[in-house]
Every structure is written in structure tokens, then in C-alpha cells.
Amino acid sequence: MYAFTFHRPATARQAAGLIAKKEDAKLLAGGHTLLPTMKQRLASPGALVDLGGCADLKGIERKGRTVVIGAMTTHAEVAASPLVQEAIPGLAYLASHIGDPHVRNRGTIGGSVANNDPAADYPAACLALGATIVTNKRKIGADAFFTGLYETALEEGEIITKIVFPLASKAAYAKFRNPASRYALVGVFVAKRGSDVCVAVTGAGEGGVFRWPEAEAALKTRFTAKSLDGVKASAKGINADMHADAEYRAHLIGVMAKEAVARATGK
């Protein structure tokens, strides 16, 4: 790592003040992407503002027809939350399959969403459930938030404070893990809210998380895995790397979508 100064504010407000003041500063959430990157000297922030001490960024609550999760809530906390398990079991399931148990004890929902790794799991849930990303400055809909590979609508110094997930009548996640890294080779989150169906795909898109309109249309007719028979994801715009070429990934999108729907419908 290159040298940096370290700051550990107690509130999001203090954090915002620090990040605005320090040139070349970065926010540190769970650190499970940033620290390995810094260890390899691929990132060199002059200052780190650790959000771990900001109690106001933690916690899970039910607010009407939504579940609100503080940005610094760990994956393990989301996975183990009876509230999330009851309200959006697919979200708890997703959190319980990120990385490994130790990673889940440090990694946070805010860090994951802000980083927008194209193979991360949470962006699929945010997009499919129509989540709202709340920052210290504004509220951003998930469809406007994820703007490209590792890119989001966040501005310099803007801090995610919480994420608001509307409840869904049916929702589930299915993931085909990269055998080596455990990231999503393909992950599909399906959500049915009223007559609306959303299918969000992570791990596969050249531009990061995306929606799959053909599957959504098929599932609107009838929300069952069978509806996806014959619906094929196009390999165009799909990632290719040494683990999976575009054709295979596109195929897996279909398989994972079916699995997610089967899970959502309890079949």
C-alpha cells in the first residue's frame, strides 16, 4: 500500500465534512475491494475516511411497504436479519451467498452498491426490486444509479446512507459462482411486484448489471419458470473471459433466471 492518512468519523455528517476537505480521499466501508486494490498498489488514495464508526449508517428497519438498510450494514447482518428473511427472503439469500462467511462479516451493502462491480450481487437486487439509493444529498432510483462498469450516479464526496427496498410479492436470486473468485459468473434476481416483473442480471453484462426485457415480458404473462422455456438471452453485449465466454454466460442467464423464478414461486 502507499501511505495515506486515516480518519474515523462518528457520523455520516462528519464523514461528509472530511471527504470534502481532503484531497484525494476515499471512503472506506468494509474494505473488501478497496484494501486488496491498495495492497496491490493499484489505488493510492491520500486519505481514507473509514465509515465503520458511523453508527447512523447501520441498521435494518421496516418502514411501511419497504425495508430500509443502512449503508454500513454487513452482508452477514442482512443475511441473518429475521426482518429481511421475512420481508424479502430473496434478499437475505443473496446476502448469504456473497463471498464467504468472513467476507460477509466485513463487507457492506453500501460498499458493494457504491463500487458497482459488474460481478457483484447486490446491484441485481437493487435493480430488480426497484430500490432507492439514499445519499447524504439525495435519493436516486436504482435504474438511474448504476451507470456502467464500476460507475454510478454518485458524485465526488457523496455518501450512500441507506438503501430502501420496496417489498415484492415474489422475489428470489440465483447465482452461478465463478469457481475461483466466488463472484457471480451470472446472477439473476427476479421480482414480481403487482403486475410488474423485473429480471435483473449481474456478472454477465459488458456494462454491468442490466434488465432482461424478454424474460420480463414472458414472466408477466405467467410468473412461472416454464414461461421462460424457449426465451433465450442474446450473447450480444455479454462478457467473455477465461472462465466463461459470451455464449455460455448467455445460456447461464436463462438457467439462473429459471432457477430464481422456481425459487420465488417455491417450486
Residue 8 in the binding site for other proteins (CB under 8 A):
yes
> One-letter amino acid identity for 124?
A
Rounded CA separation 260/187 (Å): 9
Q: Is residue 99 a contact partner of residue 107, using CB atoms and an 8 Å limit?
A: yes
Residues within window 29-58 making contact with other proteins, judged by CB under 8 A: 31-32, 35-36, 39-41, 48, 50, 52-53
Residues within window 58-77 making contact with other proteins, judged by CB under 8 A: 76
Task: Count other Cβ atoms within 10 Å, centred on residue 184.
Answer: 30
CB of 235 to other proteins, least distance (A): 13
Residue 134 in the binding site for other proteins (CB under 8 A):
no
How many residues belong to the site for other proteins (CB under 8 A)?
50
Residue 18 in the binding site for other proteins (CB under 8 A):
no
Q: Name the nearest CA neighbour of 106 among 35, 47, 43, 37.
A: 35
Residue 223 in the binding site for other proteins (CB under 8 A):
no
CB of 158 to other proteins, least distance (A): 22
| Among 56, 206, 214, 245, contact with other proteins (rule: CB under 8 A) | 245
| Among 67, 93, 122, 209, contact with other proteins (rule: CB under 8 A) | 93
Residue 181 in the binding site for other proteins (CB under 8 A):
yes
| Among 100, 143, 196, 229, contact with other proteins (rule: CB under 8 A) | 100
Residue 242 in the binding site for other proteins (CB under 8 A):
yes
CB of 229 to other proteins, least distance (A): 13
Task: Give the range of 10-18, 175-183, 206-214, 219-227 binding other proteins by CB under 8 A.
Answer: 175-183
Residue 168 in the binding site for other proteins (CB under 8 A):
no
Residue 211 in the binding site for other proteins (CB under 8 A):
no
CB of 199 to other proteins, least distance (A): 17
Residue 23 in the binding site for other proteins (CB under 8 A):
no
